């Protein structure tokens, strides 16, 4: 089948990485996949086998997701946004996909509502209307008004065949963060977690590495600096700091100057992050979806420092849930000091690694099965009507 996935990451890169994991699962199952990315290009991600289409890129002004910026950080004007919309519409018309998946929308990315609505409108005019799914993570940003809930429900009712929730309902049902009405509930399908596959990784001996990361965005300076100082209090362990964002190389150099008297390794983000975790003594990280799933799927203990700038609650909710396990310690940003970090690292290392239930992390394949099943049912219905 011809599959179209549409995603725009605005701050970090988690949304794009999850979409790529989904795309790879469709490719592995024999489908042709086009992935449309509307955020900043990320060269480090492996997109082999996927037709990647880049829209004129956007990113947010920090945590202000209503102010959209171009790659050069100038404000995206009306003509720039219109160019994105036109390119997306043309792609849908030319590709004639049988399955369309919009990542996060309509539960989020409302600032890009016009281009998503344009996509949905073109899809309804195709000779065979595709199956249309919304793909969402375990925890969403709670809606700020009843009007936004109603608008989302209306779009789901009119345009979507289902909502793929990449979570375990026994651990984090969607209604933890979003008011789920009967109409929405009827279209939910819990896939389990979408994880990067760790099968095929070469076995690595256990190390004394403390892997420090802050996702793919240009955030985390406070974590990096605290980790350098904490390393001086933890001589038995080697801290390895992975730096993300467009300015990663500049930040690496700045941090290296702060760590000249330590054994800390500082480098840009690596594509083998999950593989590093399989041998690490512990992790120090934020608590975005993909990082949390990497930790759980590899059984790696860790210190969780959720991103909470601008009133963000998603990562705090997730970290609170994970910290019920002895293998995880949550430190809020306001609690983070070199001493508290060194203490938390020692505590998680003592707790040690754990065996994970691999079945919980088949979310990508379950999404493929769900989407193709709906597409086959729609095809049979059309054939039966002829």
Per residue in 331-363, pLDDT (tens digit) is 999 999 999 999 999 999 999 998 877 778 999
Fold for 2-192+362-385, please state it. Answer: Rossmann fold (3.40.50)
pLDDT number for residue 311: 80
DSSP string, 83-103: HHHHHHHHHHHHH--SEEEEE
Residue ranges, CATH 3.40.50.2000, the chain = 2-192+362-385, 209-356
pLDDT number for residue 167: 93
* Closest by Cα among 225, 215, 212 to 245: 215
CA distance 91 to 137: 26
Mean pLDDT within 81-97: 97
CA distance 308 to 310: 6
CA distance 319 to 303: 9
CA distance 347 to 331: 12
Question: Rounded mean pLDDT of the chain?
Answer: 92
Superfamily of domain 209-356: Glycogen Phosphorylase B; (3.40.50.2000)
- pLDDT tens-digit map of 53-74: 999 999 999 888 889 999 999 9
In a 13 Å sphere around the CA of 240, the CA atoms on its Cβ side amount to 16
Q: What is the model's pTM?
A: 0.85
- 15 has pLDDT over 90: yes
- 19 has pLDDT over 80: yes
Mention every residue, 6+ apart, whose C-beta is less than 8 A from residue 305. 223, 284, 285, 286, 287, 319, 330, 331, 332, 333, 336
């Amino acid at each position: 089948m011809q599959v179209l996935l549409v995603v725009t990451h605005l701050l970090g890169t988690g949304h794009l990485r999850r979409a790529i994991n989904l795309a790879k699962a469709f490719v592995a199952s024999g489908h042709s996949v086009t992935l449309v990315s509307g955020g900043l290009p990320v060269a480090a991600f492996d997109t082999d086998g996927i037709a990647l289409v880049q829209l004129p890129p956007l990113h947010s002004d920090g945590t202000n997701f209503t102010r959209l910026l171009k790659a050069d950080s100038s404000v995206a004007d009306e003509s720039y946004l219109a160019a994105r919309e036109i390119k997306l519409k043309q792609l849908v018309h030319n590709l004639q996909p049988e399955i369309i998946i919009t990542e996060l929308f309509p539960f989020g990315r409302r600032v890009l509502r016009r281009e998503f609505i344009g996509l949905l409108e073109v899809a309804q005019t195709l000779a065979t209307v595709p199956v249309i799914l919304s793909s969402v993570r375990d925890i969403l940003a709670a809606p700020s008004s009843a009007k936004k809930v109603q608008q989302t429900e209306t779009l789901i009712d009119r345009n979507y065949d289902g909502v793929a929730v990449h979570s375990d309902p026994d651990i984090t049902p969607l209604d933890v963060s979003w008011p789920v009405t009967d109409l929405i509930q009827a279209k939910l399908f819990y896939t389990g977690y979408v994880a990067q596959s760790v099968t095929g990784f070469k076995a690595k001996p256990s190390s004394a590495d403390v892997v420090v990361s802050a996702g793919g965005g240009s955030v985390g300076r406070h974590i990096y600096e605290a980790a350098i100082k904490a390393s001086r209090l933890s001589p038995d362990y080697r801290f390895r700091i992975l730096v993300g964002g467009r300015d990663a190389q500049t930040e690496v150099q700045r941090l290296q100057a702060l760590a000249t008297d330590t054994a800390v390794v500082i480098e840009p983000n690596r594509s083998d992050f999950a593989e590093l975790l399989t041998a690490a003594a512990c992790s120090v990280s934020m608590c975005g979806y993909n990082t949390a799933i990497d930790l759980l799927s590899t059984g790696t203990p860790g210190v969780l420092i959720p991103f909470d700038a601008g009133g963000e609650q998603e990562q705090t909710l997730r970290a609170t849930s994970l910290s019920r396990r002895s293998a995880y310690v949550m430190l809020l940003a306001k609690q983070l000091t070199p001493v508290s970090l060194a203490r938390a690292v020692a505590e998680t290392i003592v707790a040690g690694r754990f065996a994970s239930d691999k079945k919980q992390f088949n979310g990508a394949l379950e999404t493929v099965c769900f989407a193709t099943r709906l597409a086959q049912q729609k095809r049979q219905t059309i054939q039966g009507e002829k």
